[in-house]
């Protein structure tokens, strides 16, 4: 069911990105919030595993994707100089949810039947409607800013001279200083799939995604394999979520200081995350597991802080619905079969170390593959800027 939820959350990302561009981020987010809450409410009867796969897996997965995708697009529209900082702050919300929601879920399950748990969480998900109403497209924001600037200018000038047709004409032609004209968002730009530089992103995420969603999913089983208690496992998960929260914000802010190449930092982060996973079998207690996985949290925080900015910088913010959509779709597709593959590896070897060795090796391979992107750009002559 978790695989179906993760898969639906990603596999429809290009279509949902196009839908967000077509109807606007506000409508898309509100629709996603209602769909997520509906999936949770429909899950209350819980008549079968297949029924729960459809409600919690498919409906909630699609709804969450509809809430998540507009945020990726709108951040790339609003921010240029501070884009990585903005994305770091946005993605840190996922990590913060990892700190709060597990404790809330455990508390609710202890004091409510699972039906009440679903109903309460449906109410929480409906709060995204309120947040969605606060979204404003960049074009609308520009228009409101211009009108406000002109109104303020009119007020100041009227303090010195009376209204006149010449004054009205001057004010109507005046606009606040603004950045370079933004291109109109595209629903889908399929030409990206013919761009070798973009294909490197697809190959990278195809390799790395074996680890990105599954490291924490298999961590409780790994903890038992290493004779850790349930309490120690919960401490590890909570501390890692807190570290991830702060790392995403800090690394996004640091990247905007332009002290290093974003491409190099991205490759370094993925390599660091993969190497730490290959070191994890050497851990022998809670503190060594926590120390090694902190390296992974730092590296994967670099991934989330930079991925959206890199896509927007290289392929344009107007193509964000497509560039992020197909990366997310690749994640969704791989979520269907990577989790069972790791389970099969653990069962066949009788060891929980083997899945982490495989995850680490493939993540390092993905990082090394993406490190070749500048060479691919030079060889193929792809028109992509390096950051």
pLDDT tens digits, one per residue of 147-160: 777 777 677 666 65
Distance between CA atoms of 262 and 255, rounded to whole angstroms?
Answer: 7
Q: Can you read off the two tokens belonging to residue 237? A: 């998960």
Whether the pLDDT of residue 310 is over 60: the answer is yes
Residue 204 structure tokens: 């990278």
Tell me phi and psi for residue 257, to 5 degrees. Answer: -75, -10
Residue 201 is predicted with a pLDDT of: 95
Single out the residue of 353, 373, 251 nearest to residue 300, CA to CA. 251
pLDDT winner (highest mean) among 52-66, 101-115, 178-192, 201-215: 201-215
Q: Taking all residues of the chain, what is their mean pLDDT, rounded to a whole number?
A: 84
More confident residue, 114 or 340: 340
For residue 364, is pLDDT > 90? Answer: yes
Lowest pLDDT segment from 106-115, 224-233, 317-326, 337-346: 106-115
Q: Is the pLDDT reported for residue 166 higher than 60?
A: no
pLDDT exceeds 90 at position 57: no
Q: How far apart are CA 105 and CA 83, in angstroms?
A: 33
pTM: 0.81
* pLDDT given for residue 161 in this prediction: 56
- Token pair of 58 as six digits: 């498919």
State yes or no: pLDDT of 368 exceeds 90. yes
- Asked whether 327 and 201 are in contact (CB, 8 A), the reply is yes
- Spatial distance between the Cα atoms of 71 and 89, rounded to a whole number of angstroms: 11
Q: What is the pLDDT of residue 71?
A: 86
pLDDT at 176: 52
CA quadruple 110, 1, 19, 245: dihedral positive or negative? positive
């Amino acid at each position: 069911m978790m695989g179906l939820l993760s898969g639906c959350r990603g596999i429809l990302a290009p279509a949902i990105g196009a839908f967000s561009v077509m109807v606007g981020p506000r409508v898309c987010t509100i629709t996603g919030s209602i769909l997520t809450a509906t999936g949770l409410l429909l899950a209350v009867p819980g008549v079968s595993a297949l029924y729960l796969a459809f409600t919690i897996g498919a409906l909630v997965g699609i709804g969450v994707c509809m809430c998540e995708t507009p945020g990726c697009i709108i951040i790339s529209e609003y921010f240029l100089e501070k884009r990585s900082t903005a994305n770091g702050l946005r993605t840190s919300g996922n990590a913060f949810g990892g700190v709060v929601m597990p404790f809330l879920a455990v508390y609710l399950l202890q004091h409510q039947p699972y039906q009440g748990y679903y109903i309460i969480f449906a109410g929480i998900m409906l709060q995204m409607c309120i947040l969605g109403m606060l979204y404003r497209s960049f074009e609308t924001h520009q228009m409101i800013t211009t009108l406000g600037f002109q109104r303020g200018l009119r007020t100041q000038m009227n303090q010195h001279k009376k209204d006149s047709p010449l004054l009205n004409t001057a004010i109507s032609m005046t606009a606040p200083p603004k950045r370079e004209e933004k291109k109109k968002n595209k629903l889908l730009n399929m030409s990206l799939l013919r761009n070798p530089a973009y294909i490197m992103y697809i190959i990278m995420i195809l390799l790395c995604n074996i680890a990105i969603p599954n490291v924490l999913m298999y961590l409780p089983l790994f903890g038992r394999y290493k004779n850790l208690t349930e309490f120690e496992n919960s401490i590890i998960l909570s501390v890692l979520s807190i570290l991830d929260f702060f790392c995403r914000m800090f690394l996004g802010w640091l990247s905007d200081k332009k002290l290093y190449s974003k491409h190099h930092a991205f490759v370094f982060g993925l390599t660091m995350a993969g190497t730490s996973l290959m070191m994890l079998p050497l851990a022998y207690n809670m503190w060594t597991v926590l120390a090694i996985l902190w390296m992974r949290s730092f590296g994967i925080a670099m991934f989330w802080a930079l991925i959206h900015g890199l896509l927007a910088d290289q392929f344009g913010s107007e193509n964000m619905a497509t560039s992020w959509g197909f990366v997310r779709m690749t994640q969704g597709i791989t979520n269907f079969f990577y989790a069972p593959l790791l389970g099969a590896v653990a069962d066949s070897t009788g060891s929980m170390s083997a899945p982490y060795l495989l995850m680490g090796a493939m993540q390092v391979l993905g990082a090394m593959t993406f490190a070749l992107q500048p060479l691919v750009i030079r060889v193929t002559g792809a028109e992509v800027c390096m950051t």
